[in-house]
Amino acid sequence: MKRKAVWIGCILATLVCGCAANASVIMTLEQVGPNVVATGNGTVDTTDLTLFLRNSPTRPFIEPAFAILFQCATCVADVYDGLLGPDNFGPGKSTDASTSTGDMLGLLGINGIIFVPLGYMSGTQLSSTGTWDNTTLADLGVTPGSYAWTWGSGAHADSLKLFAGVPVPEPAPALLLTLGSAGTGLLATRRQRLRGHRTLVA
């Protein structure tokens, strides 16, 4: 019975963790000293997206008025269509990044488009950064908040979330503990009922 209790607690915890991390791509914009730094990490499931442009050259820049955020060291992309979400994350105009590193990762939210590295294989891990020197989120015209774009369905449901000037939420340990304890409690109740049943039979 102890093994069953642990097993159910683990399953419940896994389900909660899956729900908490329901974005395959997390992008952030934050103030770091005198600069604004963007990060992008995660994977893209392209199964339910439409590839309509290959080998597209671009550059690292931001344009909040059209929900645009590009980060890349080698800025040549495959372009996929099919995202649903907000068409801006502020009123800001186009501003080129001072520096950018890592994989090609770009969002053109107003048109529901995502940019990934040339020849990208669905589900491959991506990581990139971009820096805008000597500026602020307000100067770039970014409205602080969390923004989400989604695509796909069923097993291929996926999303990109942007956290602009706000912290990225983490799974709540208290909730995990509560659900794990609930699973253990259910088994304990069942065990008591079985004991009562055996007493009656005897």
* Three-state DSSP class for residue 84: strand
The whole-number pLDDT of residue 185 equals: 52
- CA torsion 29-31-35-37 (nearest 10°) is -30
Across the beta sheet with 105-108, what order do the strands follow?
50-57, 76-81, 113-117, 105-108, 68-71, 61-63, 95-96
CB 147 within 8 A of CB 86: yes
pLDDT tens, 130-163? 999 999 999 999 999 999 999 999 999 999 999 9
Rounded to whole angstroms, the Cα distance separating 68 from 60 reads 10
Rounded to whole angstroms, the Cα distance separating 108 from 95 reads 14
Structure tokens that stand for 25 in this block: 């791509």
Structure tokens that stand for 137 in this block: 């989120």
Give the CA distances from residue 67 to residues 8, 102, 114, 116, 123, in Å, rounded to whole numbers and listed in that order: 42, 21, 11, 16, 23
- Between helix 2-20 and helix 173-201 the angle, nearest 10°, is 150
Rounded to whole angstroms, the Cα distance separating 144 from 129 reads 19
**Please, what's the largest Cα pairwise distance for the chain?**
81
The sign of the CA dihedral 128, 86, 79, 49 is positive
Give the CA distances from residue 65 to residues 38, 76, 80, 94, 112, in Å, rounded to whole numbers and listed in that order: 17, 23, 20, 8, 14
Structure tokens that stand for 193 in this block: 């009922």
The whole-number pLDDT of residue 9 equals: 46
pLDDT beneath 70, residues of the chain: 1-22, 171-202
Side-chain-side CA neighbours of 74 within 13 Å: the count stands at 10
Q: What is the pTM of this model?
A: 0.76
